[in-house]
Amino acid sequence: MSDMISYDERLHAIRAIKKAISPSESFMGTADVEVREGGEVLLRCCGVDVITSYEAGYMQYRVSIMWEDSGVKGFSSLGLRGSYNTNFNKMDRVDGDLVIHAGKYDIVISVN
């Protein structure tokens, strides 16, 4: 796992989740998810189960993408994980969507 991001980056990521996904401490629903590398779409999935939750013990939000439960194939071969959090992953809100920066990939989550 990579190093913890700065405090300001963590706050920015939390604000991005709350504005793009849900202002509450948790969300469970479906979303359209794209995985991009350098602007090129590598994987596009509709109706993927996504869960966000606040983990008080770690003072972080976790975004869980239920790839397998949603029948998505090929995500593990790209090195993608099932969850990302605001202590280690930079996140932005772009055009109303949540963008998780995961190494060389950007994961774009559009809540339906």
Tokens coding 71 = 């029948």
Residue with tokens 């794209």: 34
Give the burial class of 49: count Cβ atoms within 10 A of its Cβ; 0-12 exposed, 13-18 middle, 19 or more buried. Answer: middle
What pLDDT sits at residue 25?
A: 86
Q: How far is CA 63 from CA 38, 40, 82, 112, in A?
A: 22, 23, 8, 16
Residue 23 · residue 14 · CB < 8 Å? no
Burial of 10-19, coded b for 16+ CB within 10 Å and e otherwise, reads bebbbebbbe
Global confidence as pTM: 0.94
Per-residue pLDDT of the chain (112 residues; tens, 9 = 90+): 579 999 999 999 999 999 999 988 899 999 999 999 999 999 999 999 999 999 999 999 999 999 999 889 888 888 999 999 999 999 999 999 999 999 999 999 999 7
SS3 45: strand
Full set of structural domains in the chain with CATH: 7-111 (2.30.29)
The pLDDT, as a whole number, for residue 99 is 98
Report phi then psi at 103, rounded to 5: 65, -125
pLDDT of res. 90: 98
β-strand pairing of 105-111 with 60-65:
unpaired
- Assigned token pair, 26: 């948790």
